[in-house]
Amino acid sequence: MTVAMESGGGRRSIVDRIYGLLRSIPTWVLWIIVMIWSVPSVSLFLNSWRARDAQRNSGWWTISPSDLTLSNYDYIFRASAASTIGESLLNSMAIAVPATIIPIAIATFAAYAFAWIDFKGRKVLFIATVSLLAIPLQVALIPLLQMYVNGAHYTIPWLDKTITIIPDFDLVNTSTAVWLTHTGFALPFAIFLLHNYISSLPKDVFEAARIDGADHFTIFWRLVLPLSVPVLAAFAIFQFLWTWNDFLIANTMAGTNPDARPTTIFIATLAGDFGSNEHLLPAAAFVQAFIPLVVFFSLQRYFVRGLLAGSVKG
């Protein structure tokens, strides 16, 4: 990254400008913004320890030690419940982890190929890949669900013959169908984001590696991956949060199978008929939000740098 900035004629990058702007803001102003931004999370946390009557009759800011109870957490975690939040958390992990790792693995190879391997039709294929970002997710859900149920077949009218393109893998109502869908829709954005970053890496480093006899895989493994950690972490945050908090895809692909429901579906059904159990929602929502917070704060130092690096080239 240092070499890339120096080769750009000393021009400050967007990241440097953002950091400079933040440094010019007084610290007390930033703390006020942080406190205002944290109010919804604090209210959610405090309400998760209050019983139904306390939540209904007074605001969260009136909480007192006598209001605190473990009954909400006890209900969502206890084994006697029809479906516990612990089981739904495992289902969410079974969806979010492969839906994050697999797109990164595939997109990193593809982005390097588009950026540094000269092959016929490279630009056309890259444009076609990025253009997939324009396809609305909702348009493809039902066709994908039908493919998961029956496979994909094509009938040739004049031959009166049906060709099986994709066999029936019986994926409907499984977590596999959910993370496969997330993987497919994440790939165009992942390739676009990683390509912008990898293509901005200093060309001199790649030329020096080729002079030393390194092939493409060696360059990719020993140079591109270590230099691309920030953008990989940035995409991992985006994809993990999007997959973890998704309701539409999970409900479409696995909503009728209680053994495959993630936490978003569990929380949606937790309130019960006519919202009689709405007091349980803060506790369940706070538990559901805890893991994304851990992931974000673990990788946040790479977030801005990885997201913006490569957006301008020197």
In the chain, what percentage of residues exceed pLDDT 70?
A: 87
Note the pTM of the prediction, 2 decimals.
Answer: 0.79
What local confidence, expressed as pLDDT, does residue 256 receive? 81
pLDDT at 8 over 50: no
Task: Answer with the residue of higher pLDDT: 56 or 98.
Answer: 98
Residues 197, 1: Cα–Cα separation, whole Å:
10
Mean of the per-residue pLDDT values for the chain? 83
Mind giving me the DSSP string for 220-245? IIIIIHHHTHHHHHHHHHHHHHHHHT
Residues 14, 239: Cα–Cα separation, whole Å:
23
Confidence of residue 2 (pLDDT cuts 50, 70, 90): very low
232-261: pLDDT as tens digits? 988 888 899 999 999 999 999 987 888 888
- Among 27, 31, 179, which Cα is nearest to 102's? 179
Confidence of residue 9 (pLDDT cuts 50, 70, 90): very low
Residues 122, 1: Cα–Cα separation, whole Å:
25
Task: Answer with the residue of higher pLDDT: 256 or 39.
Answer: 39
What local confidence, expressed as pLDDT, does residue 85 receive? 84
Task: Answer with the residue of higher pLDDT: 299 or 112.
Answer: 112
pLDDT (average), residues 68-88: 78
Mind giving me the DSSP string for 154-203? EEEGGGTEEEEEE-----TTSHHHHHHHHHHHHHHHHHHHHHHHHTTS-H
Polymer length of the chain: 314
pLDDT at 82 over 70: no
Please tell me the least confidently modeled range out of 155-164, 242-251, 276-285: 155-164
What local confidence, expressed as pLDDT, does residue 93 receive? 93
99-133: pLDDT as tens digits? 999 999 999 999 999 999 888 989 999 999 999 99
